[in-house]
Structure 1
Amino acid sequence: MSLLKIHNLSKSFDNGKTKVLDTVSFELEKGRVLTIVGESGSGKTTLIRLIAGLETPDDGIVELNDTILSSVDIMVRAEKRNVGLVFQDYALFPHMTVQENIMYGIHKQHDKKERVAEVLELVGLSGFESRYPHQLSGGQQQRVALARALAPRPEVLILDEPFSNLDVILKDQLRREIFEIIHKTGVTAIFVTHDTDDALSVSDSIIVLQKGKMIQNATAFELFNAPKTPYVASLFSAVVNFTTKELEEFRYPASESTSYMLRTSSFRIEEDTDYSVTARVLSVLFMGAYYQISVETPQGNLYTICSSNDYQNKNITIGFNQPDIFHFECQIN
């Protein structure tokens, strides 16, 4: 059964001149993790602000636990929604201790100190109650922000770009730890990110927004292997946009009314494939876990391929198999 229901949610600014969210609808089941991805300006932040009650919709409904929180006629205040927020910049009060920061979000519970101790143990920061934010590392501040959001026992937890201010090594570790905590608590979560690696690794489902519209809502596996649009395909890894002439060189039966894409990771070297062509190796870069190989075909087409082998100064066969190529019908204006 769905905990959160979003019906035809729309929002515009500048007296209706700028439409940032356009009739978005989806449902989220209790205990699931939904990730929202899209480029800057796609409407991600506006969508979560509408869910949290920080913006009012122009049209549509936000419903939580069969209770309408937002509509054209109804607007439940943010503090009454039981929706937790973890912001990109953590939003900790610098003049308050860790304990005071966490207690700030607890309104109705009598045993506040006991609850603070519970959530600090949950996030691995027991004993940090008396420290101030400036005495914590970035990762520790993020855990305190998570503890503060979890302390009131929200029905939905929203994480808005929570790892964007962290370095890569710390981000990967903290992402793993934070989502282990989220799964342990069983809280329903909405995770907003522009990093598709984050989305693929933690999500039960992913929504892709583009220019305010929901383009696709599916599992990570479905989005990666069966994208509905070229934009969705390009979000999740490097791709090649083939022209019809390029595909003819591979002996692929291409149509002028269709556009074709292939993930660069789907190229095969020196293997028996459905479609192939010979190519000359131009350069090889050692990238640690793989080699990045630049090649040129007899017709002068250039491709970059990743491989576990070094093909320096060789002529090679490159190819791909039928199931690996994406094809999209061209839109006619």
Structure 2
Amino acid sequence: MTVHIGVIGAGAIGADHVRRIGARVPGAAVVAVADIDPARAGEVASGAGARVLPSGLDVVTDPHVDAVLVTSWGPTHADYLLAAIDAGKPVFTEKPMVTTAADGLRIVEAEQSSGRRLVRVGFMRRHDAGYRAMKEVLASGEIGTPLLMHCVHRNATAPETYHSEMAIRDTAVHEIDLIRWLLDDEVVSAQVISPRRTSRRFEHLQDPQFMLFETASGVRVDLEVFVNCQYGYDIRCEVVGEMGTVELPHPADVWVRSGARLRTPVLQDWSERFAAAFDDELIEWVASVREGRASGPDSWDGYAVAAVTDAAAESLGSGEVLPVLLDKRPAFYG
């Protein structure tokens, strides 16, 4: 069985996923594409031999589409996810699932009413070999009970359209999901501290930002988000336990000792760093659609992350420590 996929959103990540499905994901084919820019949709669709449809809702309701891939602008996700749930179609959404916890709760409630888990969220770092190795070490108990977690998320530059709240709602969402997944714990408070700004940023942007979180079990987490660091794409993570530490490995590359210097290349963007993880998550999603089962990060995960980003976004203005307002997890999500 070939899973026929309709794609909503033909920007950078949407186009990348269309190419990925055609080249690396067995048992799947992109058959429809929609974008707010019809010319862009046509360009991406032509490379896949797919049709261009007038809107995202047309993609969801098209009878030739078995499953939906949402890669549009974050604030549009909720309506497309609700439509897919209503149509009974599996739907993969890029992060963030939604941009507010209220919308996340709407998704969770609609999915429960449908009686099926149809939503999968693109927290692809759960598929990265390094993070999976960290998860195994933590589960083994080798470093003891986790006490602290340190995270770094740096990009070389950010476009003028990038604003301060996006550092929380679009960038930090990966680390927030990883806090929950690696520690198997919910985040209960958030604080955002605004340090001295880099001069290499647009005036409207607070960059860098320093975020502090606490989990239900008392683990303290710090996260640096710096999206104009200039030198490259740099992702780091370390968990400190009672008896040791576990740290995310740097991407494998050669180290050259020459001319009294030690050097290694620095990756420049997310597509290089997490290509294999993107491949793996879509391969797993398509397999689960074909087999009629749920898999991977679900709508509860998307909602829980949105609840954290709501608190952090409010703290961005005040610097206060704010509680994360999260409903009780339903048994429907295990």
Question: TM-score by structure 2 length?
Answer: 0.26
* Greater RCO (CA < 8 Å, at least 6 residues apart): 2
Larger radius of gyration between Structure 1 and Structure 2: 1
* Bigger proportion of residues as helix: 2
